[in-house]
Amino acid sequence: MPPSSKLQIETSAEEITAVLEEEIALGHLGPRERLVEEELAERFQAKRHVIRQALVALDAMGIVVRQPNRGAAVKDFSVGEVDQLYAVRILVEGYAAELMPFPVPASVIAELRAIHKRHCQAADRGDLRSVFRENLKFHDTLYAACGNVHLAEVIQQLAFKTHAIRSYSIGNPDILVMVREEHARMISLLQSGKRAEFVALIKAHLMPAKNAYLQLSRHKDRAFPRHAAKK
């Protein structure tokens, strides 16, 4: 029998958070775009307090900004903020790569290979939502292997913050091919124990998304200056 209780068929805050997270990461919701509670409540057929819970979660992830009397909007990053954020990411992810205990356990290699296969299959069929999710799983699994739980958690939190930044590159077929090749190369380097090459690749892997965001955001700022957007 279908559920009769309204509570059973309402979309949960967790589900709404996941959908909006994906839409920000895929560029369906762009930087500075407002997230209006009334519109979201109607779209998801959810109560306002549920929408608020989802927006609070997205704010905590660092991808949405909530301001009194102005509502919520997708986080917009200045050039300086992007440079600072990626400087920290290079630092912590490079350090995690240096900490990685070699040889990496065969179980970790097998899990990375399985995720990489699913990531490639999703890319081949044009399923960018699954590409996004499998990419997150790949990096979460990779950095969990560094042996420092707190470091892996910091890396994950920083990755959340860059969802909107990476949205400018995730649908780029050339960058996606590069990502797939670099993931395969990471696995190979983990197996062969070539730490210096692995650390260098980890750092270089971050750059295409950063550069794509800066290039496109500079173009947008020339067309729509920031001071004009605030009026």
Nearby residues of 53 by Cβ (< 8 Å), 6 or more positions away: 13, 17
Best CA proximity match to 151, nearest among 89, 108, 211:
89
pLDDT at 213 (0 to 100): 85
How far is 176 from 128, CA to CA, in rounded Å?
A: 10
The CA-atom distances, in angstroms, between 215 and each of 61, 152, 175 are 24, 29, 14
pLDDT at 227 (0 to 100): 39
pLDDT at 165 (0 to 100): 87
pLDDT at 212 (0 to 100): 87
pLDDT at 36 (0 to 100): 94
Residue pair 176/170 in contact (Cβ under 8 Å)? The answer is yes
How far is 6 from 10, CA to CA, in rounded Å?
A: 6
Nearby residues of 150 by Cβ (< 8 Å), 6 or more positions away: none
Helix extents (H) in 62-105: 79-99
Give the pTM: 0.85
The backbone torsions φ and ψ at residue 91, rounded to the nearest 5 degrees and listed phi first, read -65, -55
pLDDT at 34 (0 to 100): 94
Structure token digits, residue 172: 């780029």
Topology (CATH level 3) of domain 6-76: Arc Repressor Mutant, subunit A (1.10.10)
pLDDT at 7 (0 to 100): 40
> pLDDT by residue for the chain (231 residues), tens digit each?
344 344 445 789 999 999 999 999 998 998 899 999 999 999 999 999 999 999 999 999 999 999 887 889 999 988 999 999 999 999 999 999 999 999 899 999 999 999 999 999 999 999 999 999 999 999 999 999 999 999 999 999 999 999 888 887 887 899 999 999 999 999 999 999 999 999 999 999 999 989 988 887 654 544 434 433 333
Rg (CA), the chain: 19
Structural domain boundaries in the chain: 6-76, 79-218
CATH homologous superfamily for 79-218? GntR ligand-binding domain-like (1.20.120.530)
Residue pair 116/187 in contact (Cβ under 8 Å)? The answer is yes
